[in-house]
Amino acid sequence: MANLTDDKRIKVEKVSFSYSSEDDTAAKPPKKALDGISLQIGKGSYTAITGPNGSGKSTLAKLIDILEMPDEGRIVVFGKDTSSEDSFWDVRRKCSIIFQNPDNQIVGTTVEEDVAFGPENLGVPTAELRERVDKALKDVGLYEYRTRPSSALSGGQKQKLAIAGALAMHPDILIMDESTAMLDPHSRQEVLEIVEAMRIRDELTLITITHDMTEAARCDRILVIKDGRVALEGTPSEVFSQKELIEEMSLVLPVEYSFAYKIAEMSKGTLSAEDLKGRDSLKLACARELKKIKADMVPGTKRKERKAQDEVIMSVKALSYSYDEGKTFAIEDIDLDVHKGEILVLAGRSGCGKTTLITHFNGILKAQKGSVTVNGIDTSDKKNVMKIRQKVGLVFQYPEYQLFDETVYKDICFGLKRWSVPEKEFPDRVDKACKMTGFKTEYLEKSPFDLSGGQQRRAAIAGVLVMEPDILVMDEPGAGLDPTGRKSMFDMISRLRDSGVTVIIVSHNMDDSAIVADRVCYMRRGRIVKVGRPEEMFCGKENEFNIPRPYITEFALEVADLAGIPGYASCGDFTPEGEALALAAYYAGGDHHDR
């Protein structure tokens, strides 16, 4: 890196930056988002910037695009100093950012108008505009949608639209600022493939800011930022060889690396830098190490056996719902029993009808055909509305957006007031809900809008739990959280189940939810494809209904193929370590762990 000349790199030198706010005083200076950070990014490289929430990753992206100016230090982009007036527009027009929230970066009312917005600002003549727009839309595969209203696109399509908008600017640098965080795995893969292909074709410098370590592992180089400084940097193999350091920084290794480390631990082998290079080399290394494992080298696993619950608490019968008077059905002919005390995961791609289905569970949508009953009570019956809504708590996606009251305490109590719960019970109930969600009780008197995103989400969930529902339905509980936040969310879900609450999780991502699920229900285009225990859904090569598996299960299957056991049909508990154990046990032929 050091030998690159200035015009061939983005150079960040001792940059500090803090967001000013109204409560700043000399005694209490604002927290620095970036604190003397120095780094270099080579022209044409593919770099991941990662780190915990609030580490200053996004700020760095804004500084490179001159959306903010550094308090101290200097940034030079391909030989152009960002502090100089002359290079301001030069740098900005050559650098494009795709932001996280698909809705908040679309300006145009129609798809093509939005793509044109950037080049229109540059004053590109109309004939060339048309050419650029059409080409960019073809590049991302949205050409057929060009005259549609932009608001009618799906989340994944909106991000592709944002990419088209960036490509039409003919940038040199493309920054993805957590652009895939809100997408389902399928759309995420599509979006990544598009930008990676464009990077090669247009020789772009691609910078991706992400929590997702598997995504970071695709890059040439990884920069880990913590507390406003670079804490670790190198190629994926260099960074992920520092297992302990990464865990210290409360980051997680990509699952395939954790898996490989576990295999190597059992085989008493080591993984070389070459092995750690990427997914393919890891697979080979795992297969190689697997062959060294004998039956007695696999530690016995104690799997938590969960008693099967048969008592039906909620029953969905022949339920259909149409938003357009029967022309198309959002959900069609749904039959589903929810068992008391289980964690049921409703899975499927975005737009498959999951949210429509759960909105029936507490009677917000009334059944058009069929029925939903909770303990025998019909949820569509107007008389039962309040009773049902107390029994079935619904936490929608991004529940933090529903907070409204002056203080968190008042907000959490909203439901209690609506149900005329005696006021003397409030403090105890709020306290219990806070404990369950991990909300810090010292924040109860704060305004909900002054909290961090993670605490806001806990507060919002507490506002539902405070009603002590029998069934809790959560739509994408982990969406937008960093790995630590996601882990504590799923810990909370396990605690809830242990306390006897029936939990229904809606998710497009199986990686976290398969670990906690008792049963999984997979939906496609408004219909249920298959319901079963996770191992019935995801294990084994056979995949009759083409149900997407957790990433780690997919990886374990590929390793099994390489190791010469193509018929591998077992699986563990869907954690990387558990899957490694299960595969080793199967291979060594010892203690079998079929679930």
Partner 1 sequence: MIGDITLGRYSNTDSVLHRTDPRVKLLLYVIYLVAIFMVTDPVSLVAMALITTVLVVMSNTRLKMIWLTIKPVLPLAVFIVVINLFTIRTGNILFSKWFIVISDEGLSRAILMGMRLIFLIMITSIFLTLTTTPLKLSDALESLFSWMKVFRFPVHEMAMMMSIALRFIPTLSDETQKIMNAQMSRGADYDTGGFMKRIKGYVTVLVPLFVSSFNRAEDLACAMDARCYRGGVGRTKLNPLKIRRADIVIGIVLALLAVILVVTDRFLGQVII
Residue ranges of alpha helices (H) inside 203-326 are 213-216, 236-240, 243-248, 255-267, 279-290
425 makes contact with partner 1 (CB under 8 A): no
Residue 93 within binding range of partner 1, rule CB under 8 A: yes
Q: How far is the CB of 218 from partner 1 (least distance, A)?
A: 24
Contact 593, 585 (CB under 8 A): yes
Our finding on whether 62 is near partner 1 (CB under 8 A) is yes
For residues 194 and 143, give the distance between their C-alpha atoms in angstroms, rounded to a whole number: 14
Residue 142 class from Cβ within 10 Å (0-12 exposed, 13-18 middle, 19+ buried)? buried
Q: Taking CB under 8 A as the rule, does residue 389 contact partner 1? A: yes
For residues 280 and 561, give the distance between their C-alpha atoms in angstroms, rounded to a whole number.
13
Toward partner 1, which CB reaches closer, 291 or 418?
Answer: 418
Q: Which stretch binds partner 1 (CB under 8 A): 113-121, 301-309, 492-500, 560-568?
A: 113-121
Characterize 434-458 residue by residue with b for buried, 16 or more Cβ atoms within 10 angstroms of its Cβ, and e for exposed: bebbbbeeebbebebeebeebbbbb
Rounded to 10 degrees, the C-alpha dihedral 46/52/56/62 comes to 50
Which range, of 47-55, 249-257, 356-364, 438-446, touches partner 1 by CB under 8 A? 356-364
**Would you say 145 or 568 has its CB closer to partner 1?**
145
Q: Please report, as residue ranges, which positions from 165 to 194 form the binding site for partner 1 (by CB under 8 A).
A: 165, 169
Query: What sign does the CA torsion over 350, 351, 355, 357 have?
Result: negative
Per-residue binding letters, 452-491, with partner 1 (x by CB under 8 A) = -----------xx--x------------------------
The reply to whether 353 sits near partner 1 by the rule CB under 8 A is no
* Residues composing the chain: 595
Query: Among 111-119, 422-430, 543-551, 555-563, which window interacts with partner 1 (CB under 8 A)?
Result: 111-119
- Considering only residues 96, 187, 241, 553, which one is a binding residue for partner 1 as defined by CB under 8 A? 96
Does 161 contact partner 1 by CB under 8 A?
Answer: no
**41-71 residues labelled b (16+ CB within 10 A) or e (exposed):** bebbbbbbbbbbbbbbbbbbbbbbbbebebe
| Angle (nearest 5°) at CA 462 between 456 and 463 | 95
Indicate which single residue of 151, 250, 272, 441 sits in contact with partner 1 (rule: CB under 8 A): 151
Residues 6 or more apart in contact with residue 154 via CB below 8 angstroms = 187, 350, 351
Contact 520, 339 (CB under 8 A): no
- Single residue of 99, 189, 235, 339 touching partner 1 by CB under 8 A: 99
Nearer to partner 1, 369 or 410 (CB): 410
Whole-angstrom distance, CA of residue 528 vs CA of residue 354: 10
359 binds partner 1 (CB under 8 A): yes
Among 243, 418, 440, 541, binds partner 1 (CB under 8 A): 418
**Which has the closest alpha carbon to 59: 69, 48, 47, 74?**
69
Are 541 and 566 within 8 A, CB to CB? yes
Contact 99, 162 (CB under 8 A): yes
Residue 270 contacts residue 261 (beta carbons within 8 Å) = no
- At 528, which amino acid appears? I
Judged by CB, which is closer to partner 1: 152, or 245?
152
- Interface residue with partner 1, options 37, 116, 182, 583 (CB under 8 A): 116
Binding of partner 1 by 243 (CB under 8 A): no
Total of residues contacting partner 1 (CB under 8 A): 63
Q: How far is the CB of 522 from partner 1 (least distance, A)?
A: 24
The nearest distance, CB 252 to partner 1, in angstroms, is 28
Does the footprint of partner 1 cover residue 228 (CB under 8 A)? Answer: no
Per CB under 8 A, the list member of 120, 227, 468, 558 interacting with partner 1 is 120
Stretch near partner 1 under the rule CB under 8 A, chosen from 38-46, 104-112, 307-315, 515-523: 104-112
Question: Applying CB under 8 A, does 111 fall inside the site for partner 1?
Answer: no
Tell me which residue has tokens 């001159």.
66
Sole window of 26-34, 198-206, 341-349, 382-390 interacting with partner 1 (rule: CB under 8 A):
382-390
Nearest to 345, CA basis, from 206, 591, 511, 525: 511
User: What's the closest the beta carbon of residue 449 comes to partner 1, in angstroms?
Assistant: 6
- Between CA 6 and CA 40 the distance in angstroms is 10
**Exactly one of 394, 503, 581, 582 binds partner 1 (CB under 8 A); which one?**
394
Task: State both tokens at 160.
Answer: 């592709």
Among 108, 155, 269, 590, binds partner 1 (CB under 8 A): 108
The residue within the footprint of partner 1, chosen from 301, 371, 375, 414 (CB under 8 A), is 414
Of positions 23, 85, 123, 546, contacts partner 1 by CB under 8 A: 123
Helix (H) or strand (E) holding 209: strand 205-209
Q: Is 92 in the site for partner 1 (CB under 8 A)?
A: yes
Q: Given the structure tokens 């007695």, which residue do they identify?
A: 296
Binding site for partner 1 (CB under 8 A): 62, 65, 67, 89, 92-93, 96-97, 99, 101, 103-110, 112-113, 116-126, 129-130, 133, 149-152, 165, 169, 359, 362, 364, 386, 389-390, 393-394, 396, 399, 401-405, 414-415, 418-419, 449, 463-464, 467
